[in-house]
Amino acid sequence: MVSEHHVTFNSREANPVQLEGSLHLPASKEGKGPGVVICHPHSLYGGSMEVPLVVAIAQELAQQGVVALRFNFRGVGRSQGTYADGEGEMTDVAGALDFLEGQGRVDRERLYLVGYSFGAGVGLRHAENEPRIAAVAAVAPYVENPSESLLRSYSKPKLFLAGEGDTVCPIEWLRAFVAPLPEPKALCILPGTDHFFWGREREVAEIVGEFIANVGQVGNLS
């Protein structure tokens, strides 16, 4: 049976804050497998690790044999600290990776990152300078500065996914953002939905799960 455990860990900074998370463990306990950190939407607009899409992704990954950690950024839920404009949140991501890497069931060579909206923006910025992250999946990424150049030299597998009606992460912007990035990369546009994917959580989770299960074999999914 897949199991879920409440955990706490520290951000990685001079004066760390304690963060809370939920660790989803696969049923199989044989050998080491991949591990994924999942970052939630904007802390100031109701984003948390309890957002249905975040939960669905964690559950799907665990079903596929992946150790998945969803967590609350600083100032959300029972995580200490206050919102830090996305800068302090990158140290939260680093702390989450430290914690996940330390789990005995996780293969340190297969650490991945999944982010949704604000969490994707923070995750992508951290991934640029984080050699441990072997692949990233960005769901409806929200980037504070749309002209910011990210991942231009990031040659690891990348998945970008958004709804065709998204106004927070407009499809035209996302296509332009992805175009200059190095391979391997995949872009998936879901028709009939927007930034919130209401009722489509399981579908999104399955796409992300398939990507993580087949890292290195991505193509153009649009």
Tell me the per-residue pLDDT of 140-198, one tens digit each, with 9 for 90 and over.
999 877 677 899 999 999 999 999 999 999 999 999 999 999 999 999 999 999 999 99
Indicate the pLDDT class of residue 221, thresholds 50, 70 and 90. very low
Q: What is the mean pLDDT of residues 196-213?
A: 97
pTM of the model: 0.96
Q: Where are the beta strands (DSSP E) in the chain?
A: 3-10, 18-25, 33-39, 67-71, 106-116, 133-139, 158-163, 185-190
Indicate the pLDDT class of residue 217, thresholds 50, 70 and 90. low
Give helix 52-63 / helix 201-213 axis angle, nearest 10°. Answer: 40
- Distance CA(146)–CA(141), nearest Å, equals 10
Tell me the per-residue pLDDT of 83-96, one tens digit each, with 9 for 90 and over.
999 999 999 999 99
Domain locations in the chain?
3-213
Average pLDDT of the chain is 94
What CATH number belongs to 3-213? 3.40.50.1820
